[in-house]
Structure 1
Amino acid sequence: MTSSVQRPTRARHAMLALVAIATALNYLDRTLLGVAAPAMSKELEIGPEVMGLVFAAFSWSYAIAQVPGGVFLDRFGTRMTYALALVGWSAFTVCQGFVRSSAALILVRLGLGVAEAPCFPANSRVLIAWFPRAERARANSIYSVGMYFGIGFCSPLLFWMATNWGWRALFWIVGGIGIIFGILWYRLYRDPSEHPWVNEAELALIRADGGVTEKAEPRSFRWSDVSYLARQRSLIGASIGQFATNSTLVFFLTWFPTYLATERQMDWMKAGVYAMLPFIAASIGVLVGGQLSDRVLRSGRSLTFARKLPVVTGLLLSTVITSAIWLESDAAVIAVMSIAFFGQGMSNLGWTLISELAPTKLAGLTGGLFNLCTNLAGIITPIVIGVTVGRTGSFYLGLVYVGAMAMLGVLSYVFVVNRAERLPDPD
């Protein structure tokens, strides 16, 4: 039977499920600290300023390790890189449950950042390899739901576990699950041209619309490649935009539970229920953004317009977070936070744009540089909020900062990002 009459298999959907679960574990592991922070701060006697440093420590090493992680990915491929990363970051998560001081906690968080660094460049490479262009935004939105699903839908359970079993149990249980999944990933994932589950019809479908199904040739690191990528206007604009949307994301992943417990004076279980709602909204926003982008593309509009529209719309919605400053009702605050986080979810299409821009031979390095720039938000945002809360006793200035960064992202996508088209390889 020839590929012209053969029905395409759906192996790409199974690979997407693996990526979605891995991404959920990735974000769940890095955000458990936000759930544990109120109780951990009391037990370990950590003040707001130091806790801001603890939150930021992950992003220090995460950002620094982006380029090495991308180079490792280009050299050793998605299968091996992701498996090592999963087992590594899960082991560091388990270690967080044993810390007895803020210094030890910072050290473990630094290790967690290094181990998680290759995840999103690898996700981008999966998009390039397994999905035709017309399906990429939707695929990006589906695995990105994992960023919010773990902490959002599991928040009441996580808060209950912390209340009844202690905050240390959170890290032991989730970390153990991640180690098991890392082994499962290695057994199940392959590139399209090597996977036993895919047939020629599916490979043809992927290749016909811009997918790169062949395993990439290993490539050594070159500073000239970094220089080449750093001169690309759309990469610069997308990096600034992702920094902006990451600022909103980082607030919810780090300080939001503390904001509910201290600024809004909620007890833990109430905070757990309320914390779930914005994450659910963000999950919906991610799916809406992906569907909107692919639908606009299928309607005949340009690829550039289709990828930029949901991002700009979502960033504009994120600016409403500042209005929470003047609201007294807890329900109204959660509604505003949900709108802002819904917008952040919509704007989380930066990785889809990168999958369109990245040179074929530099997918890992491009993703690493992109994530390095964008995750500076993970360094700056927790410290800014921690310092302002420590000095003023209020989240007022922190929320203003997050809203201002969202507006910066709007301006970058409108005026800096140019065309969404694959850059040629530099040699």
Structure 2
Amino acid sequence: MAGQVRAAGDLRVWPMVALLALVVLLNFVDRGAIGIAAPLMQQSLGLSATRFGLAVSAFFWTYGLTQPFIGALADRWSAARLLSLAVALWACATLFTGLANGLAMLVGLRLLLGLGEAALFPSTAKLIAAHVPVERRGLANAMIATGLALGPALGTMAGGMILARHGWRPVFFWFGAATLVWLVPWALIGRQMNRATAGKAVEPPSPMRDLLRRPGLWLMGVAHALANYGFFFVLIWLPLYLVKSRGLPIPTMTVLATMTYGMQALASLGWGQLADALVRRGGEPSRVKRRLCVVAELGSVAGIAGVALAQGTTGLCAALLVTGLFLGCLPTMVYALGQLHAGPRDAAGWVGVQNAIGSVSGIVGPVVTGAIVDATGSFNGAFAFAAAVSAAGAAMFAWGLPERSV
């Protein structure tokens, strides 16, 4: 395919992937800051669990709805330049969240954050599909998924320390400023990638209406939504659950949540390497990744249920580690499957639509969880619902997806 760099060791490719992994890390630091700040922020702003869930959900209104359009733009324009503009927008939205004085302002800033972050995965998918050979995309996507998991891990560790010492507002100030710094090295890498592809013929992407007629895209979107539910549930609610329901002090919450996300990050690399090894041994790439997703969803059911049922600290730690282990697989495989089905020419548009459908879990899930907690006074029902959604995800990956896009 024109414009694709075939050599796995090409020095232009892996620095690009490393910076993409870093910005995904920063993305989830910024996205998850509201969960880290929740134990103090919710009380400071006078938000019930349902209203807090609404504020969290607002991010996904723009994040989900705009991704198909942004994905189509990334297929036709420079994905590297588009990503730069998006990062600047979401970093500023994060920084100004530290000034929020009520629900309305918080929702508005979450909408801007979602708009900026909407460009991340379509642009990342386009750049990986265009520059990384298929037999190395497991590793490339695992690096992205590692950033996805390390973001909550490092964000929780750093944010928890800031929260305990300085309150919730500085969490957003520091996180937003750190993301703006990323733009400096990306400006250098982006120019190198543009020079590497300058003058090469590029096959035009499919019209969006043709993409939307492909059943495989809609099925992948549903699978993505089911895979997302457990991940978002843990990312958004774990700090608040550990402090409010388990009665843990903020420093202990920080350690346990960081441990969970750290396990997810390490597991992402392992799952990606396993997928690449199985493909090199002759496994059909789509089948390999689907089967790993089935294993991961079933493991997530066990982990999420274990967190709710664990009695002591040791049992809670074990359940959290199991949850992180299996959640680490899903982002790696889900995005790799989207890239496989789409091909390099349509990767951004496809992943934009797929991720938009996947964002339904982010729109609905926080509100559902908040409503269950307010209605019952407990997280038990919310944990049961999250486990049930993960079980449905296992069934979808096992029987609901085609081997290739149709």
Which bin holds the TM-score, normalised by the shorter protein? over 0.9
**Could you tell me which residue of structure 2 aligns to residue 99 of structure 1?**
100
Does residue 275 (structure 1) correspond to residue 233 (structure 2)? The answer is no
Consecutive unaligned residues of structure 2, counting only runs of 5 or more, are 1-6
Report if the CA contact (8 A) 1:235-1:417 is conserved.
no
Q: Distance in 2 between matches of 1:66 and 1:403?
A: 27
Secondary structure at 2:345's aligned position in 1? helix
2:359 equivalent among 362, 369, 375: 375
The CA RMSD measured in Å over matched residues stands at 2.2
Q: 1:257 to 1:215 in 2, by over 3 A?
A: farther
Residues 66-86 of structure 1: CA deviation (Å, up to 9, x unaligned): 112112212322111100011
Q: Distance in 2 between matches of 1:68 and 1:318?
A: 32
Q: 1:7 to 1:384 in 2, by over 3 A?
A: closer
**Could you tell me which residue of structure 2 aligns to residue 340 of structure 1?**
323
Q: 1:151 to 1:7 in 2, by over 3 A?
A: closer
Does residue 394 (structure 1) correspond to residue 395 (structure 2)? The answer is no
Once the two structures are superposed, the pairs formed by residues 238-249 of structure 1 within 5 Å of their partners are 238-249=220-231
**Could you tell me which residue of structure 2 aligns to residue 413 of structure 1?**
397
Bigger radius of gyration: 1
Query: Aligned AA for 2:106?
Result: L
How far is the alpha carbon of 1:10 from its aligned partner? 2.2
Residues 360-385 of structure 1: CA deviation (Å, up to 9, x unaligned): 43222111100111111101111111
Q: Distance in 1 between matches of 2:387 and 2:311?
A: 19
TM-score in terms of structure 1 length:
0.88
How far is the alpha carbon of 1:324 from its aligned partner? 2.9
**Could you tell me which residue of structure 2 aligns to residue 251 of structure 1?**
233
Residues 135-161 of structure 1: CA deviation (Å, up to 9, x unaligned): 001110012111111221342332111
2:246 equivalent among 264, 272, 276: 264
How far is the alpha carbon of 1:281 from its aligned partner? 1.5
Q: 1:18 to 1:324 in 2, by over 3 A?
A: closer
Q: Distance in 2 between matches of 1:366 and 1:230?
A: 9
Residues 216-248 of structure 1: CA deviation (Å, up to 9, x unaligned): 4676x95xx33x333434333322221112101
Residues 364-409 of structure 1: CA deviation (Å, up to 9, x unaligned): 2111100111111101111111000011110111111111111111
Secondary structure at 1:195's aligned position in 2? helix
**Could you tell me which residue of structure 1 aligns to residue 4 of structure 2?**
none
Secondary structure at 1:300's aligned position in 2? coil
Residues 25-78 of structure 1: CA deviation (Å, up to 9, x unaligned): 111110011010111111111111100101111011111111121122123221
Report if the CA contact (8 A) 1:242-1:350 is conserved.
yes
Report if the CA contact (8 A) 1:237-1:413 is conserved.
no
Report if the CA contact (8 A) 2:153-2:262 is conserved.
yes
Q: Distance in 2 between matches of 1:39 and 1:174?
A: 17
1:288 equivalent among 270, 283, 287: 270
How far is the alpha carbon of 1:8 from its aligned partner? 5.6
How far is the alpha carbon of 1:330 from its aligned partner? 2.7
**Could you tell me which residue of structure 1 aligns to residue 154 of structure 2?**
153
Q: Distance in 2 between matches of 1:124 and 1:94?
A: 27
2:313 equivalent among 326, 330, 340: 330
**Could you tell me which residue of structure 2 aligns to residue 194 of structure 1?**
195
Q: Distance in 2 between matches of 1:8 and 1:154?
A: 31
Once the two structures are superposed, the pairs formed by residues 19-34 of structure 1 within 5 Å of their partners are 19-34=20-35
Q: Distance in 2 between matches of 1:261 and 1:317?
A: 25
Q: Distance in 2 between matches of 1:177 and 1:7?
A: 30
The answer to which of 254-263 and 172-181 deviates more is 172-181
Q: Distance in 2 between matches of 1:8 and 1:384?
A: 46
Q: Distance in 2 between matches of 1:233 and 1:300?
A: 27
**Could you tell me which residue of structure 1 aligns to residue 291 of structure 2?**
309
Residues 165-185 of structure 1: CA deviation (Å, up to 9, x unaligned): 221111111111211212431
Report if the CA contact (8 A) 1:92-1:112 is conserved.
yes
The sequence identity of aligned pairs, in percent, is 25
TM-score in terms of structure 2 length:
0.92
Report if the CA contact (8 A) 2:33-2:155 is conserved.
no
Consecutive unaligned residues of structure 1, counting only runs of 5 or more, are 1-5, 199-212
Q: 1:218 to 1:285 in 2, by over 3 A?
A: same
Residues 87-133 of structure 1: CA deviation (Å, up to 9, x unaligned): 11001001101111111001100110011101001111121111111
Q: Distance in 1 between matches of 2:200 and 2:25?
A: 27
Report if the CA contact (8 A) 1:191-1:214 is conserved.
no
Query: Aligned AA for 1:45?
Result: G
Q: Distance in 2 between matches of 1:293 and 1:402?
A: 26
Report if the CA contact (8 A) 1:49-1:386 is conserved.
yes
Once the two structures are superposed, the pairs formed by residues 170-189 of structure 1 within 5 Å of their partners are 170-189=171-190
Query: Aligned AA for 1:135?
Result: R
The answer to which of 335-344 and 21-30 deviates more is 335-344
Residues 239-291 of structure 1: CA deviation (Å, up to 9, x unaligned): 22211121011112211100000110101111111111111111122112111
Query: Aligned AA for 2:258?
Result: M
Once the two structures are superposed, the pairs formed by residues 68-217 of structure 1 within 5 Å of their partners are 68-190=69-191, 192=193, 194-195=195-196, 214=200, 216=202
Report if the CA contact (8 A) 2:12-2:192 is conserved.
no
**Could you tell me which residue of structure 2 aligns to residue 3 of structure 1?**
none
The answer to which of 123-132 and 235-244 deviates more is 235-244
Q: Distance in 1 between matches of 2:218 and 2:276?
A: 23
Q: 1:150 to 1:8 in 2, by over 3 A?
A: closer
Number of corresponding residues: 398
Secondary structure at 2:182's aligned position in 1? helix
Q: 1:115 to 1:153 in 2, by over 3 A?
A: closer
Query: Aligned AA for 1:150?
Result: G
Q: Distance in 1 between matches of 2:104 and 2:202?
A: 41
Query: Aligned AA for 1:311?
Result: C
Report if the CA contact (8 A) 2:75-2:126 is conserved.
no
How far is the alpha carbon of 1:305 from its aligned partner? 2.1
